[in-house]
Structure 1
């Protein structure tokens, strides 16, 4: 029940900007001490019912003292706070920043909570920021203290993955297009294969083992997604169906045919409502599906210019990006109340070049504050875009040379926010290597390069504490890499 204490901290952090308005320095001290006490209390054997009653009472008292938060803001806080304690504050801070970004269009309407969020973040990180433009913060030269807090380790040292921890080869001869660790989990991993199955692995205790294999699709499985609580996996397949699986026993809960009777190529959960899943198909359509009813959501469909190959929500679930095989990235506004999609923007990356992977991130690191989109396209480059407004408009920020001209290669942001200088992204490549790039380094951006695959590396995934990295390739090999211990 540690999640309840995380929810308590989330509520306190939301109201923290209103505390001691004449002495803002005490807000940082208060929230740190509050976090410490809640972590200590979480270790005790308190009655779960009492914890929930305390959370309810605490929320009511804070609302009476400072006024109620908006319903949408409270819902986002609650949803984010149930994730692991390691990243709770990071995600709340990221949410605050996105709130501030949206407020740029109405400067005169900014509330003190937005400015308070910046002050709190700057004090907690011991970093001095200067405002370059409304809603934009960048680190100054005084930021060295934040890196010292992280032990003065370099980005290269932090991502010194070297040895192979384990190799899974039960899918050999059929590509493994997706590999992903469970949410906030160090040891549980899944992968899907074009042989029509999904494997769930347990990496600890040693030796690593296959927990279960999900069988039922009649053709290759193209994509899958873990639910937030990891109790359900959704899969899409070339057999024109999506399936919902219980991870505890591997049983198929429901089979849902594609509304267009077309091959399904990708899927993603709506981050704020895991009852809704978005799928993309071979007939250029995206559909919002209710996995409880097995039906398409009214107004939750839209058409792209080509086959839908990749999908990604921003963390609050308000913007959905979709990439197709004609080289376009579309942004959609998602209505939280109805599930309706509204087409907002379109960006042509390269005409006719498939967009095979999209990953959204609120902040790349504590010192790289722009909401960003990481994109793989078949142009032999990894692309990093800055999200410039609340309609998902993209502005190219960096490109990194990789080999990708035909295969569905994927990439990821490193999961942990960091005090270190620089920020890291990881990608597969058709040259059979895994690349780590520092997105803040102007030259020689490659931080690490892993060699061991015998085919194009299609996907990569970190566990929650970045101690293990999984990679999969076009011949079905899955390699688990271990961070080099200092």
Structure 2
């Protein structure tokens, strides 16, 4: 019944904007205290009917006090910012009319990737067998619905005064998390052990921070900003150790490390330029400049660092071949996802299950869709596998693959949404793929992040709040 208390928190969060509109600090303090009280009450043994009745009465009282908030009014500004849908031979609407993706050959890059004997592959995806014990053990042997039964709030951070554009746990870490914000700062926080604390705030950008990434060893953070710079931060000291100027002096919307060579980074700017820079010199590498068609809002590498995908505000995804040693880019493929609608997030996953290779690309497109593509060739060619309905028209919404992919008849992806919720989808479930839905934010949810063992999930919103969710522990 913890879900009922979560719904109570969601109701309070929905009305939070109406409470003392000129005092945002009070609103934040109020919702944090409500979260604490509800979390404490969730531990007590209450009659489920009493809990539901409380939710009903609470909703009625808030409606009498503040009126009924209209979701259509809240989202009208978002819809107005979106361009009208124009026809394209490669739009989301007509992808379903293309040849069946299941008949297409799977992408293999060399002989280093082999199918494991403990599974078999069908046209519908991964089929578990009784031999896949390692994956089940790693995930605790639970069902996929149980494993993603997040409900309780572990902590709420409110140190940022504007939208938190990104939130990411450190690599292979369950306790450290970093946030980027349009207030021009980044913050590093420690969520375990309780109580959660803010370790340091990174100051140096003069405008909003649009994106950031941890280095592989978690000793550096790379950030990009509307001030036309990318910065490298030393995590231990919180100092900015290098400023990378954009060649066009344009706003930078995305950045990332080369996964196998962290001395090389890539940035994408408002003029459509993708730039690969050498961290040591601070300069663009030879052959490391290429161009898309619009603002480069999102980028991702495959785990080998050989393919770079970039999504822009015109609704296109470009793929580039990248030399890991030199950083040289070679333009490969171009794909129209939905013309005129921004591609705001890209994430690559080579393994949808620990023992089964199914290379995939996850993309948020501002046409109310979360798309899962199959990578079909060594040049980063894509073919649509699934799409999920999501409220997304104007904000830079992001999504992730769940880090633990086990043989539980499915694999999950998680996304933010403009309806102020966090969504969990099982990409292998044909019917009713929605696994869980978290309600608690009072503004569009912009980014989500798991810690490495999936015990905690972080979500950030357009009002500057970060909620750390904890998985519901069920008695056995």
Please give the range of the TM-score, normalised by the shorter of the 2 chains: 0.7 to 0.9
- Is 1:453 matched up with 2:460? no
Higher RCO (CA < 8 A, seq sep 6+): 2
Match of 1:161 in 2: 150
Kindly indicate whether the alpha-carbon contact (under 8 Å) linking 2:107 and 2:377 is maintained by their aligned counterparts in 1.
Answer: no
Alpha-carbon distance in structure 2 between the residues aligned to 1:465 and 1:152: 14
Match of 1:474 among 458, 462, 473: 462
**Count of matched residue pairs:** 368
SS at match of 1:364: strand
TM superposition score normalised by structure 1: 0.73
- Per the alignment, residue 409 of structure 2 pairs with 421
1:290 is matched with which residue?
A: 278
Corresponding residue number in structure 1 for 2:24: none
3-state SS in 1 of match to 2:334: strand
Root mean square deviation, CA, Å: 2.1
Q: Tell me what 2:159 maps to.
A: 170
CA distance in 1, matches of 2:229, 2:378: 33
Counterpart in the other structure of 1:102:
109
CA contact (8 A) 2:127 2:409 kept: no
Which residue in 2 is equivalent to 1:269? Answer: 257
Q: In 2, Cα distance between the equivalents of 1:141 and 1:171?
A: 44
Contact 2:316/2:339 (8 A) holds in 1: yes
In the TM superposition, what is the alpha-carbon distance from 1:102 to its structure 2 partner? 2.1
Distance 1:138 1:162 in 2: 29
Change (3 A) 1:145 1:356: closer
How far apart are the structure 2 equivalents of 1:139 and 1:221? 39
Q: Is 2:266 the partner of 1:278?
A: yes
Q: Which residue of 2 aligns with 1:241?
A: 229
After superposition, residues 327-406 of structure 1 pair within 5 angstroms as: 327-366=315-354, 369-406=357-394
CA gap 1:387/1:477 in 2 versus in 1, 3 angstroms: same
Task: Tell me which residue corresponds to 2:241.
Answer: 253
Aligned equivalents of 1:139, 1:262: Cα separation in 2: 44
Q: How much does 1:145 deviate? A: 6.0
Change (3 A) 1:291 1:397: same
Shift of 1:419: 2.3
Q: For the residues of structure 2 that align with 1:463 and 1:140, how far apart are their CA atoms?
A: 26
Question: In 2, distance between residues paired with 1:140 and 1:166?
Answer: 37
1:302 paired residue among 259, 274, 290? 290
TM-score w.r.t. length of structure 2: 0.74
Give the structure with the higher percent helix.
1
Question: Residue 179 of structure 2 aligns with which residue?
Answer: 191
CA distance in 2, matches of 1:148, 1:266: 35
Question: How far has the Cα of 1:148 moved from its partner?
Answer: 6.5
Question: Residue 170 of structure 1: CA displacement?
Answer: 1.4
Structure 2: distance between partners of 1:195 and 1:130: 47
What is the aligned counterpart of 1:324 among 272, 289, 312?
A: 312
User: Could you tell me which residue of structure 1 aligns to residue 99 of structure 2?
Assistant: none
SS of residue matched to 2:164? coil
